[in-house]
Structure 1
Amino acid sequence: MTTVAAPGAHVWTLEGGLRVAFERRKGPGFAFDLRLPVGSAHDPVGREGSAGVLEEWLYKGAGGRDARAFQDALDDLGVRRGGGVGPEATRVGVSGLAADLPGALTLAADLLLRPALPGEELPVLVDLARQDLEGLEDSPPDRLAVEARRVAFPRPPESPFAGFAHPASGTPEGLANLDAAGLRAFLDRYGTRGSVLGLVADAEPGEVRALAERTLAGWRPGDEGGVPAEFRPGERAHLPDPDAEQTHISVTAPGVAPRDGHWLAWQVALTALSGGSASRLFHAVREERGLAYQVGASPVVLGGRGFLAAYAGSTPDRAPETLAVLLAELARLPAGLTEAEFHRARAGLTASVVFGAESARARATSLTRDVAVFGRVRSVAELRAQLAALTLDEVNAFLAGYDPAAHATVVTLGPQEPRL
């Protein structure tokens, strides 16, 4: 099946279900981003850390090469490698010169179709994951983020998946239970179903499709089963840290799903709320009252749904006021934006769309995200046109029925719980 998604962009569904999103762009380089719909949230209960350790293990040799030879093959091509493990997906990203695209894609295919998975490397990787977890203890914002996900998105008791309440590095108990057989079985989840390859290069579309079909032929179907992200509204929790010099505040609230018609209106509203030095949160929390050096809010997509995630760090004695002001700004959203706020936020969002597509690597990542999250490729021209057509009345009509403060879940970390 072939779909022309936007001018210059094509989306193909290959045999087995792998979707390839390609955009032709003049220039000497290429970039691709392969998104697998398996992340740390898919870790089996009691084996937290499976996705993170497995991703590292894959690079310890593939395609008949040991770890050193595989790294040498990447270096010989002069490519840049990216990717990593998130809650819902694992990504393999590579960029380089156009002539090296076939070789780079072959190496990526070797990782997934022909990995060596040497047993002697596994204890080292598990130990590195443990060190990452120990480092987490020295980062209060990261510890808070993990606790906030645990409180806001608890794992359903019947789910076989560990869910969102742990980092990609896993947990000490989960890492202790990892073994080679279990990780090899976990690798079977990676496959064509639900996976998306986003690719940007100056090449003929037919040649790119043939290259993808040829290079990734024989890849197993895998499993694209999602992990439910059931939000628990109105929760309050505090993680005591007597030695902390700051109180860290996390607020999670419902948002808008990516395929909802109000998605762009929500994005404009979030930009007005937290889109720079003129935003509401920056002005109310930092500039006007000097409550926090860092404050902000951003959209998060989990389980196909959108959520607002806000953060602030304050001194313990001023944390209650910081939390109160943060929640007050969320509660003020239903009253709508002013004309100046709207135009400023829309202009800022438009600029981020334009500049975010300038690099081939960023655009390749956008292609995979668009197909996986939005179900289609959105061109820069289309997004600019939609933003230009969006009106203040439309945004405010949406905001009139949007009250995130009423359903917010608050999690804090510090010497004492900030009480309102």
Structure 2
Amino acid sequence: MTRTTRTTARPTAPVGRAVPRPRRADAGPGTVHKTVLPGGLRIITETVPFVRSATFGIWARVGSRDETPALNGATHYLEHLLFKGTRRRSALDISSAVDAVGGEMNAFTTKEFTCYYARVLDTDLPLAIDIVCDMLTGSLIAAEEVDAERGVILEEIAMTEDDPSDGVHDLFAHTLLGDSPLGRPVLGTVETVNALTRDRIARFYRRHYDPTRLVVTAAGNVDHAAVVAQVTAAFESAGALSGESAEPVGPRTGRRGIKTAGRVDVQERPTEQAHVVLGMPGVSRHDDRRWALGVLSTALGGGMSSRLFQEVREKRGLAYNIYTHTSGYADCGIFGVYAGCRPDRLDDVLKICREQLADAAEHGISDDETRRAIGQLAGSTVLGLEDTGSLMHRLGKSEVCWGRQMSVDEMLERFAAVTPDDVRQVAREVLGHRPSLSVIGPLNDRQAARLPAAVA
């Protein structure tokens, strides 16, 4: 039995901040429809009738954390291969059809999910639906394409290694999480990618791309009933819907403790800068403390007025780029500080970062910093949803990660409800951990020998 629900964003009044009222619930953003087909496929849309574009995506509940050590990189490899041809279209047919209507098509792989999407004019939405559904249900995964794409992926790995400001985050994930699925790189390694065969990738595809693990999303000038009809027809024609009743696979859950502390990993590279991440365990995306941690992270390193930006860059000129970041997974999280600086300034940068984190852990942040961070988060949340691609992304990630849709108003309310006491508590609980450290750069032996003291 097909189930369809409709969710309308309810305007709320977050503490200390007004929420702009949306247009009529049936004529603007905030009206979300969800249909669950008998085979477990979920279809979610948000209608924005005053735009001329639409973004269509399919989300697969599979990421690099679902890989064994020998399969590391298979999820990302598969993402590439689904663009390489189906029973109905060659790779050139896929790209030519999207280019011919001025559309954009892409995909991305994370540690916990994968997304394939196309952004087109609203009149070309049926084409986007047909192509993306065809890719997800009818991919050939031909042996010759597996071999050809291997070289492309190895070049992508090499490109990442040439960008230490990116690579240091992969290094830090391994520093903090070790040789675990979350600690391994999404792209895989040269060794694991070279070892992957067509048969192993095809088995991985069949295991993780069934309708119960997929979420279809569309946002823009779309009609929900039409999207459901087109997606259903596409999946049925490919034989991807059996007609048997099945429940969707729910969000990931669990609790994972990160026990590492004080670890230091250094990769010697002949770069101009030393790239560093100093951090510790954060909170999972199911933890209600994530709202307060987001406020804390913003106040410490989320903008030009943040503490670390002011202390490290503005007052002392020690670094051009410095910021904090959080990553929330289903069962754990990461909090980190990134900085890029000249190697001879690394000691000073680390000293200031440790002092600022220790001060926040002991005293929290001021009421003014709390208000400013909440305002920054509220503004960036709303401004980040000004296009159909962002709306589609919110629909899919919400369903895959939480199993429900959280309206923009609800998110604003959760941020606005954070108090300075909430921030002080999460600062004690998160920043009180002994940090770990990852560095990529041209350090001499004396500098490398001093690094353990930075996390003592």
Same fold, TM-score > 0.5, yes or no: yes
Give the direction of change, closer, same or farther, for the CA distance of 1:252–1:12 in structure 2 (3 Å limit): farther
Matched, 1:173 2:191: yes
| Separation in structure 2 between the aligned mates of residue 392 and residue 231 of structure 1, nearest angstrom | 26
- CA shift, 1:225, in A, is 9.7
| Separation in structure 2 between the aligned mates of residue 34 and residue 282 of structure 1, nearest angstrom | 38
Matched, 1:205 2:228: no
1:322 to 311, 329, 349: 349
**Number of the residue aligned with 1:5:** 7
**Number of the residue aligned with 1:159:** none
**Deviation digits for residues 80-126 of structure 1, max 9, x if unmatched?**
11222222221101111122212211111111111132322222211
Matched, 1:214 2:242: no
Alignment of 1:12-411 (within 5 A): 12-26=35-49, 27-156=51-180, 163-168=182-187, 170-188=188-206, 189-217=208-236, 218-219=239-240, 231-241=258-268, 243-334=270-361, 335-396=363-424, 398-399=425-426, 401-411=428-438
- CA shift, 1:337, in A, is 1.9
Indicate the percent of aligned positions where both proteins have the same amino acid: 26
| Separation in structure 2 between the aligned mates of residue 282 and residue 179 of structure 1, nearest angstrom | 46
Contact 1:35 1:90 (C-alpha < 8 Å) held by counterparts: yes
| Separation in structure 2 between the aligned mates of residue 400 and residue 215 of structure 1, nearest angstrom | 49
- Give SS of 2:147's match: helix
Report the more deviating stretch, 384-393 or 327-336. Answer: 384-393
| Separation in structure 2 between the aligned mates of residue 309 and residue 194 of structure 1, nearest angstrom | 31
| Separation in structure 2 between the aligned mates of residue 279 and residue 172 of structure 1, nearest angstrom | 38
The runs of 5 or more residues in structure 2 that have no matched partner are 10-30
| Separation in structure 1 between the aligned mates of residue 91 and residue 269 of structure 2, nearest angstrom | 44
| Separation in structure 2 between the aligned mates of residue 115 and residue 327 of structure 1, nearest angstrom | 50
**Deviation digits for residues 241-273 of structure 1, max 9, x if unmatched?**
152332221123222332333322221111111
Contact 2:173 2:182 (C-alpha < 8 Å) held by counterparts: no
| Separation in structure 1 between the aligned mates of residue 284 and residue 252 of structure 2, nearest angstrom | 16
| Separation in structure 2 between the aligned mates of residue 400 and residue 46 of structure 1, nearest angstrom | 38
| Separation in structure 2 between the aligned mates of residue 337 and residue 294 of structure 1, nearest angstrom | 22
**Deviation digits for residues 355-386 of structure 1, max 9, x if unmatched?**
01110101110111112223321222222334
- Give SS of 1:351's match: helix
Give the direction of change, closer, same or farther, for the CA distance of 1:409–1:193 in structure 2 (3 Å limit): farther
Letter in 2 for 1:309: G
- Give SS of 2:437's match: strand
Contact 2:41 2:215 (C-alpha < 8 Å) held by counterparts: yes
| Separation in structure 2 between the aligned mates of residue 34 and residue 373 of structure 1, nearest angstrom | 14
- CA shift, 1:230, in A, is 5.3
Report the more deviating stretch, 172-181 or 344-353. Answer: 172-181
Contact 2:307 2:356 (C-alpha < 8 Å) held by counterparts: yes
Give the direction of change, closer, same or farther, for the CA distance of 1:105–1:230 in structure 2 (3 Å limit): farther
Letter in 1 for 2:420: L
| Separation in structure 2 between the aligned mates of residue 149 and residue 250 of structure 1, nearest angstrom | 10
Report the more deviating stretch, 11-20 or 312-321. Answer: 11-20
The runs of 5 or more residues in structure 1 that have no matched partner are 157-161
- CA shift, 1:393, in A, is 4.2
TM-score norm. by structure 1 comes to: 0.89
| Separation in structure 2 between the aligned mates of residue 410 and residue 227 of structure 1, nearest angstrom | 28
- Give SS of 1:22's match: strand
Contact 1:106 1:215 (C-alpha < 8 Å) held by counterparts: yes
Contact 2:102 2:120 (C-alpha < 8 Å) held by counterparts: yes
**Deviation digits for residues 32-76 of structure 1, max 9, x if unmatched?**
232212223333322333222222121111242222222222223
Contact 1:331 1:403 (C-alpha < 8 Å) held by counterparts: no
| Separation in structure 1 between the aligned mates of residue 94 and residue 308 of structure 2, nearest angstrom | 47
TM-score norm. by structure 2 comes to: 0.83
Q: Would you identify which runs of 4 or more consecutive aligned residues in structure 1 move more than 6 Å?
A: 220-229
| Separation in structure 2 between the aligned mates of residue 164 and residue 194 of structure 1, nearest angstrom | 23
| Separation in structure 1 between the aligned mates of residue 252 and residue 179 of structure 2, nearest angstrom | 13
Contact 1:36 1:195 (C-alpha < 8 Å) held by counterparts: yes
Letter in 1 for 2:129: L
Letter in 1 for 2:175: V
- Give SS of 1:310's match: strand
Indicate the RMSD between aligned Cα atoms, in angstroms: 2.6
**Deviation digits for residues 204-232 of structure 1, max 9, x if unmatched?**
43333333333334437898896986534
| Separation in structure 2 between the aligned mates of residue 360 and residue 336 of structure 1, nearest angstrom | 37
Contact 1:148 1:250 (C-alpha < 8 Å) held by counterparts: yes
